[in-house]
Amino acid sequence: MYTVKLVSLIEKMNLENCTPDINIQSIKISQPDVNRPALQLAGFFAHFDSERVQVIGHVEQAYLQKMDREHMLNIMEKLMDYRVPCIIFSRNMEIDQEILRIATEKEVPILRTSKTTSSFMAEVIRWLNVELAPRITIHGGLVDVYGEGILIMGESGIGKSEAALELIKRGHRLVTDDVVEIKKVSDETLIGTSPDITRHFIELRGIGIVDVKTLFGVESVKNTQAIDLVIKLEEWNKEKQYDRLGLEEQYIEFLGNRVVCHSIPIRPGRNLAIICEAAAVNYRQKKMGYNAAQELYNRVTNNLKKTDS
């Protein structure tokens, strides 16, 4: 299970810390969902997920203000007894000083944002889903080609880095070389990124380490990219039958998500960069509803029907 430091959430969302006396350095968030504690403020704590970030919006605040003050403070104290990671008030709402005193005593940070409740929750959930997503690390390179994330895989020394470098020279953007960290942010989306230590570096055998950002400029790199297509480079095997039409898609699976995969045989003289570009454009065409292989198949079928008739 992955965690996010509360300090990171505060910095990312530009939150105001209303309880500065609490040491928040060791507080971590482990759940990507957030909770509006409406039922809890009404006194119903069954099935309460106390590990979630708690957000109090305009409706919850109005409900608290209608309560008897002593009862309101008792409910808030009971809520904090569950040791929630933090309580966030939206819309820059005023916070009762007694609530802040109880929070400091219970060591539950009280934070505040100027954003509306719904937009703030959507932004936090999106960010936490990425930061807390299940992930794996694989050997390969990831390049943004015409907006499509192309994951280049293959045995060590087969030419992945050289292909990535040629794509960069042709105006595409490097995400990572050699090591790709893949995060599953949803059942449809995989996000690839680079370990901090190797970010924007490429290793070329015989030359050494190349800093892509320094050599080609900031427009040649990016930090994250959705993985849309996998290209597996492999040594040419004349005994193997390779797909020459592409009527049926082949897939590879990461973290339970399937991604379209093309196996490309490598022989001297093949321009891997152009092949990757063609694969990216062809994949985009298929997403837009045009399949060249199916079009050729239809033409051949229609021609045979005409011949038979």
**Which residue out of 28, 178, 199, 286 is catalytically annotated?**
178
296 located within any domain:
no
Question: Is 160 noted as a catalytic residue in this protein?
Answer: yes
Do residues 152 and 142 make contact, with C-beta atoms less than 8 angstroms apart? yes
Q: Is 161 annotated as a binding residue?
A: yes
SS3 233: strand
307 located within any domain:
no
Q: Is 269 annotated as a binding residue?
A: no
Total residues belonging to the chain: 309
105 located within any domain:
yes
Question: Is 139 noted as a catalytic residue in this protein?
Answer: yes
> What would the mean pLDDT of 49-68 be, rounded to a whole number?
94
Q: What is the pLDDT of residues 131-182, one digit of tens each?
A: 999 999 999 999 999 999 999 999 888 888 889 999 999 999 999 998 999 9
Q: Is 306 annotated as a binding residue?
A: no
> What would the mean pLDDT of 44-55 be, rounded to a whole number?
94
pLDDT of residue 159: 85
**Which residue out of 112, 160, 183, 232 is catalytically annotated?**
160
Residue at which a domain ends, from 104, 131, 158:
131
303 located within any domain:
no
The pTM assigned to this predicted structure is 0.80
Q: Is 90 annotated as a binding residue?
A: no
Q: What is the pLDDT of residues 207-223, one digit of tens each?
A: 889 999 999 999 999 99
Q: What is the pLDDT of residues 268-306, one digit of tens each?
A: 767 889 989 999 999 999 888 888 888 888 888 888 888
Q: C-alpha angle with apex 73: 72 to 77, nearest 5 degrees?
A: 120
Residue at which a domain ends, from 105, 131, 157:
131
Res 309 pLDDT > 70? no
pLDDT of residue 2: 87
CA–CA separation, 268 and 262 (whole Å): 19
Same domain, yes or no: 279 and 149: yes
Worst-scoring range by mean pLDDT, 22-26, 87-91, 132-136, 241-245?
A: 241-245
Q: Which domain covers residue 261, as residue numbers? A: 135-291
Rg (CA), the chain: 27
Average per-residue pLDDT for the chain: 91
pLDDT of residue 244: 73
pLDDT of residue 296: 85
| CATH number reported for the structural domain that contains residue 46 in this entry | 3.40.1390.20
| CATH number reported for the structural domain that contains residue 186 in this entry | 3.40.50.300
pLDDT of residue 140: 93
pLDDT of residue 13: 95
106 located within any domain:
yes
- Greater model confidence, 291 or 13: 13
CA distances to 25, 43, 126, 169, 214 from 217, in Å:
36, 57, 30, 11, 6
Handedness of CA 272, 273, 276, 281 (dihedral sign): negative
Exposure string of 103-117, with b = 16+ CB inside 10 Å and e = fewer, is bbebebbbbbbebeb
**Which residue out of 47, 66, 238, 244 is catalytically annotated?**
244
Same domain, yes or no: 150 and 47: no
| DSSP string of 84-127, one letter each residue | -S-EEE-TT----HHHHHHHHHHT--EEE-SS-HHHHHHHHHHH
pLDDT of residue 157: 81
Which residues are paired to 260 by β-bridges?
Answer: 229, 251
Do residues 130 and 147 make contact, with C-beta atoms less than 8 angstroms apart? no
Q: Is 169 annotated as a binding residue?
A: no
pLDDT of residue 229: 96
Question: Is 178 noted as a catalytic residue in this protein?
Answer: yes
284 located within any domain:
yes
Do residues 142 and 175 make contact, with C-beta atoms less than 8 angstroms apart? yes
Res 76 pLDDT > 90? yes
Q: Is 213 annotated as a binding residue?
A: no
Q: What is the pLDDT of residues 231-259, one digit of tens each?
A: 999 888 777 777 777 778 889 999 999 99
pLDDT of residue 126: 92
